[in-house]
Chain A
Amino acid sequence: QQQVKQSPQSLIVQKGGIPIINCAYENTAFDYFPWYQQFPGKGPALLIAIRPDVSEKKEGRFTISFNKSAKQFSLHIMDSQPGDSATYFCAAQAGTALIFGKGTTLSVSS
């Protein structure tokens, strides 16, 4: 019930491609869905977040799509660049409980 399932585990795209990372959850009490970006040897940093009353949110080249009925949300990266190569974590929060997915390692080749 508390899990957040993230896929794929790894992803390789060419520069300019649109990688998509998917997450699914079971607990309907979750009311905040952030995405974190982590570069090697660094801590994760908040990338973008969405609440369940919104179906889509864009910030620059990053877009979250949210499907409340399916309990799924996804991250799209438009016009991906080699500098986007990193590990991406989705998460879901209810109160003080923040549950992370297991992460997706993205590699963008030039």
Chain B
Amino acid sequence: DGGITQSPKYLFRKEGQNVTLSCEQNLNHDAMYWYRQDPGQGLRLIYYSQIVNDFQKGDIAEGYSVSREKKESFPLTVTSAQKNPTAFYLCASSTIRQGLNSPLHFGNGTRLTVT
């Protein structure tokens, strides 16, 4: 089955440690995205990438970093500079088609808890 795999589902880290969240897709989508979800805040865009080796900051990129070395993979690193990292992180992908909007396909998220 095609889809997006995020791992792990739950992640616990001590404050001050960097942590990397995995996102893999086998949908052959060009674009990939990272969103952060907090209760009552909706989904806020952290980073997105439309092509391998290129990515752009979203609305809340501070304290996060990404890489896009392969089309299928878009890992997110939550650095110690992120002041409030505890959240539910969602990875998504989409096709890119000229003149048409493509829906996002989401993974099932990683819940990160930093203490």
- The answer on A and B forming one complex is yes
Please give the residue numbers on chain A whose beta carbons come within 8 Å of chain B beta carbons, in ascending order.
6, 9, 31-32, 34, 36, 41-46, 49, 89, 93, 96, 98, 100-103
B101 at interface (Cβ–Cβ under 8 A)? Answer: yes
Size class of the contact patch on chain B: 20 to 34
Q: Which listed residue, B6, B31, B43, touches A89 by the CB 8 Å rule?
A: B43
A42 CA / B108 CA spacing, docked (Å): 5
CB <8 Å contact, A49 and B103: yes
B44 contacts which chain A residues (CB < 8 A)?
A: 100
Contacts A89-B43, A101-B42; is A44 near B90 (CB within 8 Å)? yes
B107 at interface (Cβ–Cβ under 8 A)? Answer: yes
CB <8 Å contact, A32 and B40: no
CB <8 Å contact, B108 and A41: yes
